[in-house]
Each structure stands twice: as structure tokens, then as C-alpha cells.
Amino acid sequence: MNHRERVLTALNHKEPDRVPIDLWGSASRICNDLYFRIVEDLGLDGYGDYERASRCSDYVDYRISDIIDADFRHINIGKPKYFKKRTTNEGISFDEWGIGTKRNVHNKYPVVVYSPLAGADIDDIDKHKWPILEDTGRIEGIKEKVENWAHNTDYSITATPAVSGLAFDICLFLRGFENFLIDLYSNPKFAEKLIQKVTDIITEINVYYLKPIGKYLDWIEFTSDYGMQDRPFLSSEKFRQFFLKPNKELFETVKKLAPNAKIFLHSCGSVKELIPDFIEMGVNILNSLQPRARDMNSFELKKEFGKDLIFHGGVDIQGGIIGSLEEAIEESKTRIKAFAPGGGYIFGPSNHFLEDTPTENFFAIYKIARKFGKYPIRINC
């Protein structure tokens, strides 16, 4: 099988020749410090494309994808042309939503320090300066890149998120975590209006992004972290009250532009309680499958939801692959044994590869996927 055939077989809940493997998606990138070590160890000339695709990863380098025999090419939305991020003298950077972030001595990645709607009332929502939707910078060059992949390669093509997060995440940043979570209980009309406004903007940006490329895509990625390590942020009751319908309408809209594409959702943490809601709102592929989070046992998830979901990722970055080489190998075998039988599994990490991942472990887990991910699956671990 070629790359695309392998992926499509897995997405149809059938067994391909081997488990498809992923790198450079919205939850499978390599953070900068590790990436620089890999490039140096491989003796590669220069770096990959500078895309600043996530808070910890600036580069996308398909030379590494080819070395590990990954099955994908991921298109990333472009940066807005008509918005320029500004940074104050205090080091606070403001994005196109008006959210302010800053790096500090305790966290090398940006954290939210300013929420523009923290003191807002319901009438202020419409007055806020929202992102420009049809900014040509978002789609510059993406049609040509995707068409080249579609016509001149056999890779599976996916779209990474048009917006980092869904309404839940962005409302938390706009309003402030504590304020917004309290709104869900004590100020529901405000919460509903803000959620709908943010979802409308996310939807319109997705429409603009996907219209030129939708027919080529095998899946469309969305990210929203509904889980903490030991529980969801929200009960299923609150999730259904505020987020199921807006998310479902968003997914239905993008499916019209990409009728052959699956809906991919990344959500960290303990989210088993919400998985039936995810399925109801149209999710086909679930990542990150964080195995150390409560109730996220890989074997149980496959047994309970394997007929309804394709599983993506799951390889433990909280312990499994950051230890010894032997531990990384066993971790990879365990996830393949759990998720791969019967198809419906894409091998990858449970989130971005961080700098605490040894280089040899990074390459070892993909070697294991190529060797032990061959069907029929025969793993004893």
C-alpha cells in the first residue's frame, strides 16, 4: 500500500498493511530544543519551514517525516496579513483576539496575562474588536501546496486547525479562566452569547481556509482541551448545555466544504466522560488519548468506543518515552497492541514531543511502529 491507501484503510476501520504513523500535526510536532538536536544528530543542512505552528514548535521539517516513513502532509493556515502582533515594553504580546500573553521566568512558553473581556458585560461582546475573517494572508499559497501534494505525492493530506482552540478555550482566554467558568453557572446568557460569537468567527475563518482545499483533505483538525489530569473541566451536563450544539454546527459546516474528510479532535487529559458527547457532535478521530490521565486506559477506550472512533496518538510523553530506550520501546508496543487491532488507529505521541524526549527514543518509537505495527498485530508486552 502507498501512504494514502494505508491511511484511508485505517480511517475506514479496516486493517492496512501497517499502522499509519504521523508527525507534524496539531498534536504531533517536535518542540524546538528537541528539533534542533535531531537536526544536528542527523547532520541535516539548515532547518525546515518556519511556520510557528504552535507555542513550542516553530518548524515543520518533512525530511524527518521521510526518515521515519510518516504517512502525512499537513497544511497549516497562513498568518493574517492585516494584523500585526504588538508587544508592550513589559513584554506582553497581543494577538488578533486582543488576548495578551507573556513569557516569564517560570514558564518558557507564553502564558495568558491579559483577558480583554474580563470586565465586560453582555453588550460589550459586539463592541469588541474581533479578528478580520477573510484576511488573504491566511490562505496565501495553500491551494498550490495542497494541489502539489495531491497530484505529485501519495501522502494523506490533512488540515491543521484554522484557529488554535474552539470556543471553550478562546472564551477562557478572552474572559479569564475563573470568570468564564463562573459565567457558565451564574451568567449563562453572557456565556451563551460569547460562545456563539466566538464559534461564528471560528466557523467563518474555517470556511475561508478550507474552501480552496477541502476536496483534497482526509481529515480536518480541531483542538480543545476539555480535560485535566484527573477529570474533565466540565461535567457532561454543562458540556452539552453550552458546547455540544455550537461545535456540532461548526463541524457540519466544514464537512460541506470537505465532504470526504473526517473530523479530528485533540483534547488533552481525562475526557472519557465526554467521549459520547464528542461522537454526537460529529468527531470521527480522537487524540490525544493521554494514558496517564484518569479513566484513559487505552485498551478500555478501544473496547468501548472503537466502533465509533478512530484513535490517534496515545504514546505517553509524560513518562513512557522520556525514560530509558527500553521503556520507550515497551510504551510504543503497548499503544499498538491496545489500539491497532481491527484498524482505526494512527500511531503518534499523545502530544508534542518535548525537549525531555531523548533523540534515540524519538527514532526508536517510529521504528517500533514500522516493525510491530504490521498487520496482523502480534505483540506480547
Q: Is residue 100 part of a domain?
A: no
- Residues 321-356 pLDDT 10s: 999 999 999 999 999 999 999 999 999 999 999 999
- For residue 53, the model assigns a pLDDT of 65
Q: Please, how many CA atoms are within 13 Å of residue 28, restricted to the half-sphere of its CB?
A: 31
Please report, to the nearest 10 degrees, the dihedral formed by the alpha carbons of residues 158, 161, 167, 172 taken in order: 140
Distance CA 37, CA 112 (A): 29
Q: Is residue 278 part of a domain?
A: yes
C-alpha cell at 218: 482526509
Q: Is residue 354 part of a domain?
A: yes
- For residue 325, the model assigns a pLDDT of 98
Asked if residue 299 lies in contact with residue 342, where contact means CB atoms within 8 angstroms, the answer is no
Asked if residue 265 lies in contact with residue 286, where contact means CB atoms within 8 angstroms, the answer is yes
Given phi > 0 = left and psi -120 to 50 = alpha, else beta, which region is 49? Answer: beta
Q: Is residue 377 part of a domain?
A: no
Tally of structural domains, the chain? 1
C-alpha cell at 283: 468527531
- For residue 376, the model assigns a pLDDT of 97
The pLDDT of residue 106 is above 80: no
The residue type found at 349 is: P
Domain region containing 156 = 3-82+125-372
Q: Is residue 111 part of a domain?
A: no
Band (pLDDT 50/70/90 cuts) for residue 381 is low
CATH code: domain of residue 60: 3.20.20.210
Q: Across all residues in the chain, what is the average pLDDT?
A: 96
Q: Is residue 99 part of a domain?
A: no
The residue type found at 317 is: I
Q: For 147-298, where are the E strands, in sequence order? A: 156-159, 219-223, 262-266, 285-287
- Residues 203-252 pLDDT 10s: 999 999 999 999 999 999 999 999 999 999 999 999 999 999 999 999 99
Distance CA 365, CA 356 (A): 15
- Residues 41-72 pLDDT 10s: 999 999 999 987 677 889 999 999 999 999 99
Residue range 351-368: mean pLDDT, rounded: 97
Q: Is residue 284 part of a domain?
A: yes
Asked if residue 58 lies in contact with residue 84, where contact means CB atoms within 8 angstroms, the answer is no
The pLDDT of residue 151 is above 90: yes
- For residue 62, the model assigns a pLDDT of 98
Q: Is residue 87 part of a domain?
A: no
Band (pLDDT 50/70/90 cuts) for residue 104 is confident
- Residues 171-205 pLDDT 10s: 999 999 999 999 999 999 999 999 999 999 999 99
The residue type found at 27 is: A
Please state whether the peptide bond connecting residue 288 to the residue before it is cis, i.e. omega within 30 degrees of 0. Answer: yes
Q: Please, how many CA atoms are within 13 Å of residue 263, restricted to the half-sphere of its CB?
A: 22
Of the chain, the percentage scoring pLDDT greater than 70 comes to 99
The pLDDT of residue 361 is above 80: yes
Burial readout 246-277 (b: 16 or more C-beta within 10 A, e: otherwise): bbbebbebbbebbeebbbbbbbbbbbbbbbeb
- For residue 185, the model assigns a pLDDT of 97
Distance CA 248, CA 77 (A): 22
- For residue 107, the model assigns a pLDDT of 66
